[in-house]
Structure 1
């Protein structure tokens, strides 16, 4: 099942994340670090919302959803801001302070997601 969504630049990042979670070692590490179900809700340039459910509590899976299910934490932001955040070009705290990132639920769990992206980043570490 594909995790990409038409019109969302973040689709490739979610594909990368889903691919990374197929590695049992990375999956186990992510579950240990985060231990939560995260819903990432993005809004694209056309104003369309898309939800992704990242289960880092039990399964270590990522799925696309039409509506936001119950979760430990939900991140709401624009597609473009999420791409910057995932690529390390934006700071989550700054986005939050500037009102570009909204967090519903457990704030500490939200900060843990950054380490998961870093652990599956295919780019060479300098």
Structure 2
């Protein structure tokens, strides 16, 4: 076995390595530009989405605030109606008392009239 002799010039190998190295660096540079471009697009989309979420959040908070104001108004109306119902309840109770008194008086007058008619002598 004889060893084959390799006859190549080291300068040629070095040139090939440098050429390959330049190509690799160009590819890396192109890839970096693509990544930077994609990153900018993604960051813009995120920023737009954040703005949209912020505006939606503000709208929701405004609606919640409006609902709280309306709820306070409804509570005030309920208290007002509660007071009116209590007043009506007192009036009805008073009216029932008066109606009973009138009915009792009317019955007594009728009994007195009947007693005079039949002269029972109870009320003489």
TM-score by length of 2: 0.15
**Higher alpha-carbon Rg:** 2
| Larger relative helix fraction | 2
| Larger relative strand fraction | 1
Which of 1 and 2 has higher RCO (CA within 8 Å, sep 6+)?
1
